[in-house]
Amino acid sequence: MIINRSILMNEFFLFFYRIYSWSLFLALMFLFLPFMIIAAFFGIYIGGSIIFFLIKIWAMLWYFFCGLRHENSGLRPDKKDGPFIYVANHDSYLDAPITMLSLHGQFRALGKTEIRRIPFFGWIYRYGVILVDRSDKENRAKSVRILKHVLSKKINIIIFPEGGFNYTENHLGKFYDGAFRIAIETQTPIVPMVYLNVKNILPRDSFFKLSPGKTKTIFLEKVPVNGMTMENIGSLKETVIKMIEAELIKNEFHNF
């Protein structure tokens, strides 16, 4: 009976915690939305930089007032040495705010075009990321051109090479070539990152399963691409996969 009461109390707490957390998320979104609309008139680079700064503040406030904690560790590179192509595992919708809490300096993310259909948030998403429709060859090519242009402006980019959530039983899903092809073509080093404990705090199958807790980003050793050609895409991808997978296995049973 005591156990059942404890379970009920926990479920009761989580129910109201989740309502509070997502209500706060929406409240912050509408608070920042007018400033983001104004920033959008300044174009993709100046306006985009302002919007990214506002999103970062949004993420920090949401994490803080939801009782969520985040830690960065490992070999985070000096932003003065950039630009870099960051790549990470993709396990949860929580990866978006974690990215904002992990990376310093300016960066742009590659994101799925489907998200822009979400009311209000989709508009912010459209201005904050570079959209890609993986089913459209021309759209993929256009996204690559934009990413290269961003790198030429000394702005970092982040790509989730799995292209979506990993629903397999493996630690990682299949990696696409895009990030590694761009790295070689632009001779931009890759910085692998590992996001930990995210799917435990927000499982990928539902927005309404958020729980309080701690997330962590581990920055792995930078992977240079100097002198590599298109023939090295496979080996470069395999190197990064092994680095990320090894860190996931190492922290698989870590108690957060």
Give the total residue count for the chain: 256
| Residue range 192-237, pLDDT digits in tens | 999 999 999 999 877 788 999 999 999 999 999 999 999 999 999 9
Residue 181, C-beta contacts closer than 8 angstroms, at least 6 positions apart: 144, 230, 233
User: In this structure, how many other beta carbons lie within 10 angstroms of the beta carbon of residue 242?
Assistant: 12
Please state which CATH number belongs to domain 70-250. 3.40.1130.10
> Of the candidates 243, 193, 170, which has an alpha carbon nearest to the alpha carbon of residue 77?
193
pLDDT-derived band at 80, boundaries 50, 70, 90? confident
| Residue range 134-144, pLDDT digits in tens | 666 777 788 88
**What does the DSSP 8-state code read for residue 76?**
P
Q: Could you tell me the two tokens for 134?
A: 């993986």
Which pLDDT score, from 0 to 100, does residue 69 have? 95
Domain ranges of the chain: 70-250
DSSP alpha helix (H) spans, the chain: 2-40, 48-65, 95-102, 121-128, 137-152, 178-186, 198-201, 233-250
| Cβ neighbourhood burial of 205 (10 Å; 0-12, 13-18, 19+) | exposed
Chain position carrying tokens 């939801």: 66
Q: pTM of the full predicted structure?
A: 0.88
